[in-house]
Amino acid sequence: MNTSIQDKIDATLNSLDNMRRAEMPPFFQTRLMARIENIQQNNSSWLPVRKPALLIALLLLCIAMNVGLLESTLSNKKQSEHDNKSSIENFSQEYNLSVQSPY
Amino acid sequence: MLNDPSFIQLLKQGNGNAFTQLVEAYQHMVFNTVLSIVQQYEEAEDVSQEVFVQVYQSIKYFRGDAKLSTWMYRIAVTKALDWERKKKSKKRVNVLKNLIGIGTKEEEAVTDFHHPGIELSNKENAAVLFKALQQLPENQRLAFVLIKSEGLSYAEVSDILKTSVKSIEGLMHRAKENLRNSLQNYYSE
Protein backbone atom coordinates (compact mmCIF):
# COMPACT_ATOMS: atom_id res chain seq x y z
CA MET A 1 0.00 0.00 0.00
CA ASN A 2 2.72 2.39 1.13
CA THR A 3 4.93 1.47 -1.80
CA SER A 4 2.08 2.09 -4.17
CA ILE A 5 1.56 5.58 -2.73
CA GLN A 6 5.29 6.28 -2.95
CA ASP A 7 5.25 5.14 -6.58
CA LYS A 8 2.33 7.46 -7.33
CA ILE A 9 4.14 10.36 -5.65
CA ASP A 10 7.31 9.68 -7.63
CA ALA A 11 5.36 9.40 -10.87
CA THR A 12 3.57 12.68 -10.12
CA LEU A 13 6.78 14.49 -9.22
CA ASN A 14 8.34 13.31 -12.48
CA SER A 15 5.28 14.04 -14.61
CA LEU A 16 6.73 17.32 -15.90
CA ASP A 17 9.86 15.63 -17.22
CA ASN A 18 10.11 15.85 -21.01
CA MET A 19 7.24 18.31 -21.20
CA ARG A 20 7.09 20.50 -24.29
CA ARG A 21 6.81 24.25 -24.25
CA ALA A 22 3.24 25.51 -24.61
CA GLU A 23 2.86 27.56 -27.77
CA MET A 24 1.32 30.99 -27.92
CA PRO A 25 -2.12 31.00 -29.57
CA PRO A 26 -2.05 32.09 -33.24
CA PHE A 27 -2.22 35.77 -34.26
CA PHE A 28 -0.84 36.89 -30.90
CA GLN A 29 1.35 39.45 -32.60
CA THR A 30 -1.68 41.13 -34.25
CA ARG A 31 -3.56 41.38 -30.95
CA LEU A 32 -0.46 42.68 -29.19
CA MET A 33 0.22 45.39 -31.75
CA ALA A 34 -3.44 46.50 -31.55
CA ARG A 35 -3.10 46.77 -27.78
CA ILE A 36 0.12 48.79 -28.02
CA GLU A 37 -1.48 51.10 -30.60
CA ASN A 38 -4.47 51.57 -28.33
CA ILE A 39 -2.22 52.46 -25.39
CA GLN A 40 -0.30 54.95 -27.53
CA GLN A 41 -3.53 56.62 -28.68
CA ASN A 42 -4.75 56.89 -25.09
CA ASN A 43 -1.43 58.37 -24.02
CA SER A 44 -1.67 61.10 -26.61
CA SER A 45 -5.22 62.04 -25.55
CA TRP A 46 -5.68 65.68 -24.41
CA LEU A 47 -7.05 64.71 -21.01
CA PRO A 48 -4.20 64.46 -18.49
CA VAL A 49 -6.25 62.36 -16.03
CA ARG A 50 -7.69 59.08 -17.18
CA LYS A 51 -8.99 57.43 -14.01
CA PRO A 52 -12.75 58.07 -13.71
CA ALA A 53 -12.65 58.13 -9.89
CA LEU A 54 -9.97 60.82 -9.95
CA LEU A 55 -11.87 62.80 -12.58
CA ILE A 56 -15.05 62.74 -10.47
CA ALA A 57 -13.11 63.76 -7.35
CA LEU A 58 -11.54 66.68 -9.22
CA LEU A 59 -14.94 67.76 -10.55
CA LEU A 60 -16.48 67.66 -7.06
CA LEU A 61 -13.57 69.65 -5.65
CA CYS A 62 -14.03 72.25 -8.38
CA ILE A 63 -17.77 72.53 -7.65
CA ALA A 64 -17.13 72.77 -3.88
CA MET A 65 -14.58 75.56 -4.42
CA ASN A 66 -17.01 77.47 -6.63
CA VAL A 67 -19.85 77.15 -4.13
CA GLY A 68 -17.53 78.30 -1.32
CA LEU A 69 -16.38 81.30 -3.34
CA LEU A 70 -19.96 82.23 -4.23
CA GLU A 71 -21.07 82.00 -0.59
CA SER A 72 -18.21 84.12 0.69
CA THR A 73 -18.85 86.76 -2.01
CA LEU A 74 -22.55 86.95 -1.12
CA SER A 75 -21.89 87.23 2.62
CA ASN A 76 -19.25 89.95 2.01
CA LYS A 77 -21.75 91.88 -0.08
CA LYS A 78 -24.44 91.67 2.63
CA GLN A 79 -21.94 92.72 5.29
CA SER A 80 -20.77 95.72 3.26
CA GLU A 81 -24.39 96.81 2.59
CA HIS A 82 -25.12 96.52 6.31
CA ASP A 83 -21.95 98.43 7.23
CA ASN A 84 -22.76 101.11 4.70
CA LYS A 85 -26.29 101.57 6.05
CA SER A 86 -25.23 101.69 9.70
CA SER A 87 -22.40 104.15 9.00
CA ILE A 88 -24.87 106.59 7.33
CA GLU A 89 -27.22 106.25 10.31
CA ASN A 90 -24.36 106.90 12.76
CA PHE A 91 -23.23 109.91 10.79
CA SER A 92 -26.74 111.44 10.70
CA GLN A 93 -27.22 110.82 14.42
CA GLU A 94 -23.81 112.26 15.30
CA TYR A 95 -24.45 115.54 13.48
CA ASN A 96 -28.12 115.60 14.32
CA LEU A 97 -29.08 115.62 10.72
CA SER A 98 -32.51 114.77 9.64
CA VAL A 99 -33.86 115.03 6.24
CA GLN A 100 -37.20 116.63 6.24
CA SER A 101 -39.36 116.60 3.29
CA PRO A 102 -40.40 120.02 2.11
CA TYR A 103 -43.78 118.60 1.19
CA MET B 1 21.71 38.01 -32.75
CA LEU B 2 18.97 39.07 -30.29
CA ASN B 3 21.62 39.98 -27.74
CA ASP B 4 23.57 42.08 -30.24
CA PRO B 5 24.06 45.65 -29.01
CA SER B 6 22.99 46.87 -32.46
CA PHE B 7 19.70 44.95 -32.22
CA ILE B 8 19.06 46.27 -28.72
CA GLN B 9 19.85 49.77 -29.96
CA LEU B 10 17.20 49.34 -32.68
CA LEU B 11 14.69 48.25 -30.04
CA LYS B 12 15.54 51.28 -27.92
CA GLN B 13 14.95 53.53 -30.93
CA GLY B 14 11.45 52.05 -31.25
CA ASN B 15 12.16 50.16 -34.47
CA GLY B 16 8.98 48.23 -35.33
CA ASN B 17 10.73 45.43 -37.24
CA ALA B 18 13.11 44.78 -34.37
CA PHE B 19 10.20 44.59 -31.92
CA THR B 20 8.36 42.17 -34.24
CA GLN B 21 11.46 39.96 -34.31
CA LEU B 22 11.70 40.08 -30.54
CA VAL B 23 8.04 39.03 -30.14
CA GLU B 24 8.51 36.29 -32.72
CA ALA B 25 11.55 34.93 -30.90
CA TYR B 26 10.27 35.08 -27.33
CA GLN B 27 6.48 34.69 -27.50
CA HIS B 28 6.43 30.95 -26.71
CA MET B 29 8.99 31.32 -23.92
CA VAL B 30 6.93 34.09 -22.31
CA PHE B 31 3.62 32.27 -22.79
CA ASN B 32 4.89 28.98 -21.39
CA THR B 33 6.40 30.67 -18.33
CA VAL B 34 3.29 32.71 -17.61
CA LEU B 35 0.96 29.76 -18.27
CA SER B 36 2.88 27.52 -15.86
CA ILE B 37 2.42 30.12 -13.13
CA VAL B 38 -1.13 31.40 -13.70
CA GLN B 39 -2.44 27.99 -14.88
CA GLN B 40 -5.22 29.48 -17.03
CA TYR B 41 -4.91 29.45 -20.80
CA GLU B 42 -6.84 32.65 -21.74
CA GLU B 43 -5.45 34.64 -18.83
CA ALA B 44 -1.93 33.54 -19.77
CA GLU B 45 -2.28 35.18 -23.18
CA ASP B 46 -3.53 38.39 -21.62
CA VAL B 47 -0.65 38.45 -19.13
CA SER B 48 1.80 37.69 -21.97
CA GLN B 49 0.49 40.75 -23.80
CA GLU B 50 1.17 42.80 -20.66
CA VAL B 51 4.71 41.41 -20.61
CA PHE B 52 5.42 42.57 -24.16
CA VAL B 53 3.77 45.95 -23.57
CA GLN B 54 6.08 46.36 -20.57
CA VAL B 55 9.06 45.32 -22.69
CA TYR B 56 8.05 47.85 -25.37
CA GLN B 57 7.76 50.63 -22.80
CA SER B 58 10.84 49.74 -20.71
CA ILE B 59 13.39 48.65 -23.30
CA LYS B 60 14.98 52.09 -23.06
CA TYR B 61 15.93 51.26 -19.45
CA PHE B 62 17.51 47.91 -20.37
CA ARG B 63 21.16 48.29 -19.41
CA GLY B 64 22.41 45.02 -20.83
CA ASP B 65 23.77 43.73 -17.49
CA ALA B 66 21.86 40.49 -18.08
CA LYS B 67 20.88 38.67 -21.25
CA LEU B 68 17.75 39.95 -22.96
CA SER B 69 16.03 36.60 -22.30
CA THR B 70 16.87 36.81 -18.56
CA TRP B 71 15.39 40.31 -18.43
CA MET B 72 12.27 39.09 -20.21
CA TYR B 73 11.91 36.10 -17.89
CA ARG B 74 12.01 38.56 -14.96
CA ILE B 75 9.23 40.66 -16.47
CA ALA B 76 7.16 37.55 -17.27
CA VAL B 77 7.51 36.19 -13.73
CA THR B 78 6.70 39.57 -12.17
CA LYS B 79 3.60 40.08 -14.34
CA ALA B 80 2.35 36.54 -13.65
CA LEU B 81 2.76 37.03 -9.89
CA ASP B 82 1.05 40.45 -10.10
CA TRP B 83 -1.89 38.80 -11.83
CA GLU B 84 -2.07 36.18 -9.07
CA ARG B 85 -2.02 38.82 -6.33
CA LYS B 86 -4.78 40.80 -8.04
CA LYS B 87 -6.84 37.64 -8.40
CA LYS B 88 -6.38 36.79 -4.71
CA SER B 89 -7.29 40.29 -3.54
CA LYS B 90 -10.37 40.29 -5.81
CA LYS B 91 -11.37 36.98 -4.23
CA ARG B 92 -10.97 38.44 -0.72
CA VAL B 93 -13.09 41.49 -1.64
CA ASN B 94 -15.80 39.19 -3.05
CA VAL B 95 -15.81 37.09 0.13
CA LEU B 96 -16.14 40.27 2.19
CA LYS B 97 -18.93 41.60 -0.04
CA ASN B 98 -20.79 38.31 0.24
CA LEU B 99 -20.42 38.43 4.02
CA ILE B 100 -22.12 41.82 4.22
CA GLY B 101 -24.61 40.84 1.55
CA ILE B 102 -23.67 43.22 -1.27
CA GLY B 103 -21.67 40.78 -3.35
CA THR B 104 -22.70 38.98 -6.48
CA LYS B 105 -22.44 35.24 -6.06
CA GLU B 106 -19.67 34.57 -8.53
CA GLU B 107 -18.62 31.01 -8.06
CA GLU B 108 -15.33 30.15 -9.63
CA ALA B 109 -15.32 26.76 -11.24
CA VAL B 110 -12.40 24.78 -9.88
CA THR B 111 -11.04 22.86 -12.81
CA ASP B 112 -7.84 20.92 -13.21
CA PHE B 113 -5.16 22.63 -15.24
CA HIS B 114 -3.87 20.60 -18.15
CA HIS B 115 -0.67 22.00 -19.63
CA PRO B 116 -0.74 21.45 -23.41
CA GLY B 117 2.91 20.36 -23.50
CA ILE B 118 2.47 17.33 -21.24
CA GLU B 119 2.47 13.83 -22.71
CA LEU B 120 -0.93 12.16 -22.63
CA SER B 121 0.26 9.40 -20.29
CA ASN B 122 1.35 12.02 -17.70
CA LYS B 123 -1.67 14.30 -18.01
CA GLU B 124 -3.51 13.23 -14.84
CA ASN B 125 -0.39 13.19 -12.67
CA ALA B 126 0.71 16.57 -14.02
CA ALA B 127 -2.70 18.07 -13.18
CA VAL B 128 -2.28 16.85 -9.58
CA LEU B 129 1.25 18.28 -9.47
CA PHE B 130 0.14 21.69 -10.80
CA LYS B 131 -2.53 21.81 -8.11
CA ALA B 132 0.04 20.96 -5.43
CA LEU B 133 2.38 23.63 -6.83
CA GLN B 134 -0.15 26.31 -5.91
CA GLN B 135 0.42 25.52 -2.24
CA LEU B 136 4.17 26.19 -2.41
CA PRO B 137 5.78 29.44 -1.26
CA GLU B 138 6.34 31.82 -4.19
CA ASN B 139 10.11 31.47 -4.60
CA GLN B 140 10.07 27.66 -4.35
CA ARG B 141 7.31 27.52 -6.96
CA LEU B 142 9.17 29.86 -9.31
CA ALA B 143 12.37 27.84 -9.09
CA PHE B 144 10.47 24.60 -9.70
CA VAL B 145 8.45 25.97 -12.63
CA LEU B 146 11.41 27.58 -14.38
CA ILE B 147 13.52 24.44 -14.07
CA LYS B 148 10.84 21.87 -14.88
CA SER B 149 8.61 23.74 -17.29
CA GLU B 150 11.17 25.88 -19.11
CA GLY B 151 14.04 23.42 -18.72
CA LEU B 152 16.43 26.08 -17.42
CA SER B 153 19.61 25.32 -15.55
CA TYR B 154 20.12 26.23 -11.88
CA ALA B 155 22.55 28.95 -12.98
CA GLU B 156 20.03 30.49 -15.38
CA VAL B 157 17.31 30.48 -12.73
CA SER B 158 19.71 32.08 -10.24
CA ASP B 159 20.28 34.91 -12.76
CA ILE B 160 16.54 35.42 -13.26
CA LEU B 161 15.74 35.39 -9.54
CA LYS B 162 18.91 37.38 -8.73
CA THR B 163 20.21 34.91 -6.21
CA SER B 164 22.99 32.32 -5.92
CA VAL B 165 23.00 28.84 -7.44
CA LYS B 166 23.26 27.47 -3.89
CA SER B 167 20.00 29.09 -2.87
CA ILE B 168 18.27 27.77 -5.99
CA GLU B 169 19.44 24.29 -4.98
CA GLY B 170 17.98 24.90 -1.53
CA LEU B 171 14.71 26.19 -2.99
CA MET B 172 14.39 23.13 -5.25
CA HIS B 173 15.14 20.76 -2.39
CA ARG B 174 12.49 22.37 -0.18
CA ALA B 175 10.01 22.55 -3.07
CA LYS B 176 10.33 18.81 -3.72
CA GLU B 177 10.02 18.05 -0.01
CA ASN B 178 6.89 20.18 0.34
CA LEU B 179 5.38 18.70 -2.81
CA ARG B 180 6.09 15.19 -1.55
CA ASN B 181 4.28 15.97 1.72
CA SER B 182 1.35 17.53 -0.05
CA LEU B 183 1.07 14.60 -2.49
CA GLN B 184 1.36 12.14 0.41
CA ASN B 185 -1.74 13.77 1.95
CA TYR B 186 -3.53 13.84 -1.39
CA TYR B 187 -2.98 10.15 -2.18
CA SER B 188 -3.61 8.98 1.40
CA GLU B 189 -7.12 10.49 1.46
Burial of B105 (0-12, 13-18, 19+ CB in 10 A): exposed
Nearest-neighbour CA in chain A from B82: distance (Å): 19
- Dist CA B5 CA B183 (whole Å): 47
Higher pLDDT, residue A51 or B59: B59
**Which residue from A40, A21, A30, A50 is spatially nearest to B49, judged by alpha carbons?**
A30
- Please indicate whether, in this complex, the C-beta atoms of B184 and A5 are within 8 angstroms of each other: yes
A69 touches chain B (CB under 8 A): no
Sequence-separated (6 or more) residues with CB below 8 Å from residue B119:
A18, A19
Supply the pLDDT for residue A75. 84
Nearest-neighbour CA in chain A from B30: distance (Å): 9
Which residue segments constitute the domains of chain B, with CATH numbers given?
Answer: 1-108 (1.10.1740.10), 112-189 (1.10.10.10)
> Contact, B143 vs B161, CB < 8 A?
yes
> Contact, B51 vs B34, CB < 8 A?
yes
Mean pLDDT estimate for chain B: 93
A23 touches chain B (CB under 8 A): yes
Whether residue B127 is predicted with pLDDT greater than 80 in this model: the reply is yes
Overall pTM surpassing 0.80 (yes/no): no
- Please indicate whether, in this complex, the C-beta atoms of B122 and A15 are within 8 angstroms of each other: yes
Nearest-neighbour CA in chain B from A42: distance (Å): 14
- Please indicate whether, in this complex, the C-beta atoms of A32 and B49 are within 8 angstroms of each other: yes
Supply the pLDDT for residue A42. 85
